[in-house]
Amino acid sequence: MCTSKTRLDCKTVVITGASSGIGKETARDLYARGARVILACRNMEKTNEAIEDIKNNPPSHINKDKYKNNAGELAIYPLDLRSLKSVRNCAKNLLTNEAHIHILINNAGVAAYPNEKTEDGFQTTLQVNHLGHFLLTLLLLPKMQLSSPNCRIINVSSLTYIFADIDFDDINLERSYAPCKSYMQTKLANILFTKELARRLKASNIHGINVYSLHPGIVPSEISQYSSNTIFPGATSCYNAFAYLFYKNAEQGAQTTIYCCVDEETANTTGLYYSNCGVATLYRNANNDQYPEKLWNVSCQLLHLEPEEDFTTFLKNVSRQML
């Protein structure tokens, strides 16, 4: 469990996919710490229900009266990561309406998803788990620069990255799609994106924004909802039963994300990978020195962005996508 008592009064946090599971529990905790928590989600009805639940039910370790007296604010912004237009609109609304953004948590994700393409022509898992968050992060970075120091970007990955490789010539998996392969590739991408973004920020002397990736643990959640259709009948129930018996509930699964948001020691680190509220060792392709930059360049190519040597110029060019 994250034991830090850090308050987040006057801080603004954006969490994607916060209407259920780990994302909602993360929002609940950071709201309890006094933050203005923005739930960036696709399903408005479900997100409004999540807001009511968060307001009325504190984290397990907090007294209800104390919770209501010390909580922050909650807000909803529409975001559908399956649409790059929606990503740009969400970013534009955030930049227009929010004075600051101090913490961005790229939490939303899908797993074992059918082989379907988005309106932008990308495999859905690739766009939701990586490309959408890649673009959203780049669009929000200038606002986070103005909000620094001690701003943080957290990318929720998974231990399944260990089994992944990335075919940079077929990252959309046109020739070799498989539901689990697609998911694991994007979880590796989350880690590589974290490393490369941290490197580019440092190389550009942009200080006060740290980047983290993490494994939350195996948690029964809606991320497994498609597996019965794409892997085998009953796979979703099997996964959730296994997770309920042996692994973490959603509140426990949110702890490492919360740790990366608030822990005092993590304020001095960037680009690292975390598990169980501590730095974890990376293995296999996550340690390939060429992969982070290659993924960055391929991601820019897919999004029709020109990678610039000067990172500040690059971010200005990315921002023009919202015009």
Residue 1 lies in a domain: no
Residue 104 scores a pLDDT above 90: yes
Residue 42 lies in a domain: yes
Per-residue pLDDT of 170-220, as tens digits, reads: 999 999 899 899 999 999 999 999 999 999 999 999 999 999 999 999 876
Number of domains in the chain: 1
DSSP assignment of 183-224, as one string? Answer: HHHHHHHHHHHHHHHHHHHHHTT--SEEEEEEE-----SGGG
- b vs e for 170-209, b when ≥16 Cβ sit within 10 Å of the residue's Cβ? ebbbeeeeebebbbbbbbbbbbbbbbbbbbbbeeeebeeb
Average pLDDT score, the chain:
92
Q: Choose, from 67, 113, 183, 212, the residue flagged as catalytic.
A: 183
Q: Tell me what pLDDT residue 234 has.
A: 58
Residue 48 lies in a domain: yes
Per-residue pLDDT of 153-183, as tens digits, reads: 999 999 999 999 999 999 999 998 998 999 9
Residue 102 scores a pLDDT above 60: yes
Residue 174 lies in a domain: yes
Residue 192 lies in a domain: yes
Q: Tell me what pLDDT residue 247 has.
A: 75
- The strand pairing partners of 12, in sequence order, are 36
Residue 115 lies in a domain: yes
Residue 2 lies in a domain: no
Given a contact cutoff of 8 angstroms between Cβ atoms, the answer to whether 296 and 124 are in contact is: no
> Between helices 132-147 and 84-97, what is the axis angle to 10°?
10
Q: What would you report as the CA-atom Rg of the chain, rounded to the nearest whole angstrom?
A: 18
Q: Which two tokens stand for residue 106?
A: 């790229």
Q: Which range marks the domain in which residue 207 is found? A: 12-322
Per-residue pLDDT of 69-85, as tens digits, reads: 999 999 999 999 999 99
Residue 4 lies in a domain: no
Active site residue 183: yes
Strand ranges inside 216-296, DSSP E: 272-275
Which residue do the tokens 């920020």 mark?
201
What CATH code is carried by the domain that includes residue 79?
A: 3.40.50.720
